[in-house]
Amino acid sequence: MKIIGIDLSGPSNHKDTVLAVFENQAGALRFNKQLSNIGDLEILNEVTHQSQNDEVVIGIDAPLSYQDGGGDRPGDKELRQYIVSLGMKSGSIMPPTFNRMVYLTLRGIKLSREIGNLKTENPISMVEVHPGAVIGSRISRSHLDYVLSYKQDLAARRFIRKWLGEQKLTNLPVLIEEESHSMDACAAALGAWHWRDKQFQPKWILPADPPLHPFDYCC
C-alpha cells in the first residue's frame, strides 16, 4: 500500500504545495520521496505513477466540499470543538467558503474529482485530513506546545519530526524540518494511514455524506 499525504495550497500558490509519498512496510510507513512547488498535473501524474503497482491511499489537507448556503460544514463544527477540547486553537479550522479559504476549497474539490476520474491499475481512495489535529490528537498533552508552534518554530518541527518517527513513520529526512508544509504532508499521510489500515483507527472521523460531502473527514 502506498500512502500519499498532500498539503495543498491555493491554485496560484504552488510553492506551498507539498506531496509526500510513503510505503506501508511491515506495520510502518517508510518515507519514499517528497515533491514540492507542484501543480495539479504533477500531482495527478505522481498518483498515477504510484498506483501502477499498488493500492494508493491519499490524505489531503484541504476542504474537499463546501456547505451549500455557506458557512461551516457539520464536520468543521465538530472538529473545531474536538481540537479545542485537546487544548488547540479553533482558528485553524475555517469555513470552506471563507474569503481566505475559497480558492483552496476550489482547488481541493477540483483535484479530488480529477483523481477520482483517473483510470488506474490499482484502487485509489481519498480522505480529507487536518494535519494539526492528527498530531495534536496523538501527542502527549505535555508536548502540546510543540503542536501550537511548529508552523513558526524550527525547534518544534525538530521535535515533531522525531515524534513522527515514534509513530512508525520511518526514514524521514531532515528536510521535512525546513518548513511546516512538509511536516503537514507527513502528518496528512499519518492520518490517511490510520484511516485506511484496519489495525488503526482515526482519532476523530465524520463519514462521507454524498452527494454533497463525498469524502470522509478525519484526523
Q: Where are the alpha helices (DSSP H) in the chain?
A: 40-50, 74-86, 102-116, 131-136, 144-149, 154-166, 180-196
Return the closest-CA partner of residue 215 out of 154, 124, 142.
124
Say if residue 121's pLDDT is above 90: no
Confidence bin at 26 (pLDDT 50/70/90): confident
pLDDT in tens, 52-104: 999 999 999 999 999 999 999 999 999 999 999 999 999 999 999 999 999 99
pLDDT in tens, 158-199: 999 999 999 999 999 999 999 999 999 999 999 999 999 999
pTM as predicted: 0.96
